[in-house]
Structure 1
Amino acid sequence: MTDNNIHDQASGLRRLTQPTLTKVISVTGGKGGVGKSNVTLSLAISMARQGKKVMVLDADLGLANVDIMLGLRVKRNLGHVLAGECELKDAMVEGPHGIKIIPATSGTQSMTELSHAQHAGLIRAFGSLEEEIDVLLIDTAAGISDMVVSFSRAAQDVLVVVCDEPTSITDAYALIKLLSREHGVQRFKIVANMVRSYREGRELFAKLTLVTERFLNVSIELVACVPLDDKVRQSVKKQRIVVDAYPRSPAALALSSLANKALTWPIPKTPSGHLEFFVERLLNKREPVGESFGE
């Protein structure tokens, strides 16, 4: 790789992560089935309606579903990018209201077991993008895989989607514990999803707060209570997102309100010190990959 190419990629990454330009939000959850992808896409569409340039990265590299939820046909995905068969811009597709989507690949085991160098290469691929982005939403896989950790560390805000189920709360706690103790992520925003009332959402948050305050040194904030709403299921059948298909439904109103709130969250004046800083060093100084992950 020539010095010019390295400089071009570094410049591209700075455009992506520059605090004045791009808000980076990771949407994650301790387990599957909590509605994480629906939250991600609802935020994306709601923000796009306000004139924001929004990109969604489907980072669930084992069970990709963002493109399926939107009924989109994709020819290329992140698998092709990592294999060197195309650039990131070639895999990008346009979704409703002009949101840009980078689809993942589904059912490929090797994509769920990427090395740290491949993680870095994936982030570095953003350096080739010339798109101006106001908000990058990262829809991670469920659980605590290396990929989930990588993207959660890269984000300025980490949204943890939780349902009122014992396994959801336990797994969300495990994710918060891992990110805080081993990777320095100290602030988490909680979305209580599919709750039967605002009170139930508050009680769910209280359960999570009880264990985090006792065992962890983190800040958690309840940012939304999204009601259980049959319109969500109906919109999934239509391969549409609830804020688009049923904008006045209870779930859609709650998710639109969350999008408005997210746009007001302050962006740090400097890189987070995690993956953004790591990739900058990788591109500029070509330092060993593993060292920057603290291993």
Structure 2
Amino acid sequence: MKKALVVGINDYPGSARLRGCVNDATRIAELLSTHADGSPNFDVMLSCDVKARSALRSLILDAFKHDDESSLFYFSGHGCITDTDGYIVTPDFSRHDEGISMDEILKIVNLSPARHKIVILDCCHSGAMGVPLPAGTAAFLERGVIILASSRDTEVSMEVGNQGVFTSFLADALKGGAADIAGEVTPGSIYSYIDKALGAWSQRPVFKANILRSTCLRKVTPLVPLEELRKLTTYFPRAESEFALDPSYEYTTETPDLDHIHTFKILRRMQLIGLVEPVDEEYMYWAAINRKSCRLTSLGIYYWKLLTSGRL
């Protein structure tokens, strides 16, 4: 089972009130609940009315206490940092009791029996999670822990147009902006997408992980159907193989072969997404007309290796 606790808090007292966190949390909850094709993904608990530190702590404990395939916690709200630790702030905050410390959250996550433990924080100073501070707070990440934070420990996280800048890009990434050719969106690909989208002068996202293998957070429509992608190992028995072409692969010639034409359409689609390239010709058409060949690109070899090792 995959579970996700998604929390958004707008209702802070006085001038601390926020506007976009509930919208952000609602949008992320919707995206995580299903894959792009509508099939079930995470079993999501959305909470946007948390009032107290004790209530939020109880929700986090419950989210990570079971032996699930994946347990995920997303938070959008206020964050702060003190001399001793970073905190996600709850509406009942007071001086010297700001909310739940990031060190405490990390301890809960580290003790979780879940296989994959993902924490995504969109709040100021969220990068403090997993950073040892002068007071000696823990920074060790157990196997399977992934942290994605909206900003470094010294930075604020921006809210523009009633939405968090980080979560806006996070949503776009989950919709497919960070998907690989097979249509999988992973925490690492999300970080890379957001890091590039924010640019050098904006808040800097933070990614920390201790994993043997990444996990898919959402699946979208692949750039090429998986049954076609798996033909890479048929067309190219070895990574360095070349696939011989001739005019029968091109339907506009006088000697077209229907099976060859079907294969050539697949190869051309693979070329369009960077998996295959013609040899000694600029275009696949001329490679066929001039009896040349095509081969795997570096990206194609990467996916060929995934297929031959049974990881795709």
Fold conserved between structures, TM > 0.5: no
Greater percentage in helix:
1
Greater percentage in strand:
2
TM-score (norm. length: structure 1): 0.31
Q: Which has the higher contact order (CA 8 A, sep 6+)?
A: 1
CA radius of gyration, larger in: 2
